[in-house]
A and B are shown apart, each in its own frame.
Chain A
């Protein structure tokens, strides 16, 4: 059998075509990553005057640091909640948008909008609505007898940042789920319907398994999003507070390095975070991808 493969007549052409992307990766990813790993082994003055090699000290110090370990737990709760919320709500919306007969396009376009909002702005929008003194929703909650004050109540703060973070990602997930739903062959569903399967059963036995590649892709994307890009939400809404209740790892990295000027400690945290997320992604591919049917 002949291999189907595009062949370039010149050797340099493919290299030239790939070079810009490689250069971008090298400059913006490999180089900073390398610098981060190196500085994790040093203690240095903020202005770079003194620099001592300290071996693994920056890493071992993390395990003595109760607030860092606490932050690990907070991150797991936050990421799991954000990802689950983003996936389930977007799937629900997509299934309904897919069924809507009239105004479907308008519906779909409106639901995609929030993705254009940067996480920091999303945070500020939610902050306006739920600000304990001036927020409309906060006032409504107070009226219902729910004492809402996320500046004191850590659980409420967590709920708020999870909602703000998931809200934006729901739009992204929605687009993918909708596309996936539209490619489910209607003959399959009709056949099941003839065999007497109700809509719920049709969804779980036919549609959901067929969506699995999309769901898996979104799971990975959403987890990475909740670990890193949600920084803007945390920074604008809670700054990690109250009493560390929303201090996720990426915010802790920022606090240590940029506020505390402890560059070595911050670098060590980045390395741990990087290894953790690589590990998590590998695990996902190992164990969850096995159940995905392409």
Chain B
């Protein structure tokens, strides 16, 4: 009962906060609110971009408001939308895309916004693997790509040397991953490798990298009838192999999301699968050792060549229900954000990928990648080949819940409660229930 009381209290506080942030003061520039989920170094850079836009013109003023992590930001926006106090712009993580696309009453598609306000805007300037994640079935852009990341392998060069491995050659295949991890263990390193975001990296990106379908209906792009395929042999063998390695700490589980990164920072684990968006933090935290960045290993039994990775991160959605005068300002702001200079600056400071080709070229010309070869690994993975139906991304409803289900089932494998086949069968069964539920709610 106390919980409900808290529910109500939070709701009212939220409404009050929303009212305070959206209340407008007479004349002056038109205020446009942007709710985001960027903290730390990323928030600093984001505010820098906003300041730059605000100073570049006097008609609009962007108010960037930090709303907690991705989940909290989305939930606050939903509560605010229902109370008619929503922000103009909302940053939503990639797995929330399915939810946003289907919230037709709440969103203004970006292609429509840009067309209505005649700001020069070229959707084809975006890197295809990034743009593809946020377009509808006709290729029209629904949200504005902002911070995109993709997984890479960070490794400890010092420990590689100690174990007699070549610090310029991170493992290229999963087989090498096993032998390298074993050598590292034999040399006295506490653990071979660990992984952040296990569902995103070891399942979703594993599928794209090996050109395997993750779900039917082109990983969900074809319709809400999609069902998961992650209990097929390649996935089961992969997870079973990693579980086998965990017995001798060649692999060690370090928790969900970014939590395992601390095992890498402390030198306990010699290798870490993580997002390129963490590049800045890795650089700041890896103070006692030199680190390198490698691409994801390939399982040569499944594919002879890697395909391409898929993105994570977030995009910007425009919400309905604001005065007409706001939308022109939002369009101007989006145009500003997609300029090569802003994009390059954002990418350089945060480690997120440059989302347009022009920004990538600009960074390249400026010699950024020559100085930071690690930063280029990610964009090369993403643009390795033209995306296929299996590597364009995924679009499924209730996907945050499905990720939690996958997390739970994988944890059951790491703790030895289930074998890989049992866990992935259960993940498919439970995940498909979520997909059925979403499908039913749409029809």
Q: Residues of A at under 8 Å CB distance from B?
A: 27-29, 31-33, 36, 43, 45-50, 52, 65-67, 133-134, 151-154, 224, 228-229, 231, 239, 241-244, 250, 253, 255-256, 258-262, 270, 273-274, 277-278
A243 pairs with B106, CB closer than 8 A: no
Closest 9 CB pairs of A and B: A49-B105, A32-B8, A243-B411, A47-B106, A242-B411, A260-B401, A243-B412, A47-B103, A28-B8
B372 close to A (CB within 8 Å):
no
Known A29-B4, A45-B102, A48-B81; contact A259-B401, beta-carbon cutoff 8 A:
yes
Q: Mark B405-418, 1 if CB is under 8 A from A, else 0.
A: 00111011011010
CB < 8 Å A-B pair total: 126
Contacts of A65 in B (CB 8 A): 433
CA distance A277 to B82 in the complex (A): 30
One of B16-24, B29-37, B58-66, B255-263 contacting the partner: B255-263
Among the listed A28, A228, A258, A277, which residue makes an inter-chain contact with B9, where contact means beta carbons less than 8 Å apart? Answer: A28
CA distance A43 to B401 in the complex (A): 16
Q: Mark B379-419, 1 if CB is under 8 A from A, else 0.
A: 00000000000000000001011001001110110110100
Sampled A-B contacts (17; CB under 8 Å): A32-B4, A32-B5, A47-B81, A48-B82, A49-B103, A49-B104, A50-B441, A133-B254, A133-B262, A133-B266, A152-B411, A255-B404, A258-B75, A260-B434, A262-B401, A270-B4, A274-B4
Among the listed B3, B99, B105, B411, which residue makes an inter-chain contact with A250, where contact means beta carbons less than 8 Å apart? Answer: B3
Q: Mark B341-356, 1 if CB is under 8 A from A, else 0.
A: 0000000000000000
Known A255-B404, A258-B75, A260-B401; contact A49-B106, beta-carbon cutoff 8 A:
yes
> Smallest CB-CB separation from A153: which chain B residue?
B415
B103 pairs with A154, CB closer than 8 A: no
Known: A32-B11, A48-B105. 17 other contacts (CB 8 A): A27-B12, A28-B8, A29-B4, A29-B8, A47-B106, A67-B408, A133-B263, A151-B254, A153-B415, A154-B415, A242-B415, A260-B401, A260-B404, A260-B434, A262-B437, A270-B4, A273-B3
Among the listed B75, B255, B266, which residue makes an inter-chain contact with A134, where contact means beta carbons less than 8 Å apart? Answer: B266
Shortest C-beta distance, B243 to chain A (Å), equals 11
Q: Which of B102-143 contact A (CB under 8 A)?
A: 102-106
Shortest C-beta distance, A192 to chain B (Å), equals 41
B430 close to A (CB within 8 Å):
yes
> Smallest CB-CB separation from A52: which chain B residue?
B441
B4 pairs with A36, CB closer than 8 A: yes
Q: Residues of B at under 8 Å CB distance from A?
A: 1-9, 11-12, 71-72, 74-75, 78, 81-82, 99, 102-106, 253-256, 259, 262-263, 266, 268, 398, 400-401, 404, 407-409, 411-412, 414-415, 417, 430, 433-434, 437, 440-441
Shortest C-beta distance, B161 to chain A (Å), equals 23
Shortest C-beta distance, B289 to chain A (Å), equals 16
> Smallest CB-CB separation from B265: which chain A residue?
A133
Contacts of B411 in A (CB 8 A): 152, 241-243
Shortest C-beta distance, B398 to chain A (Å), equals 6
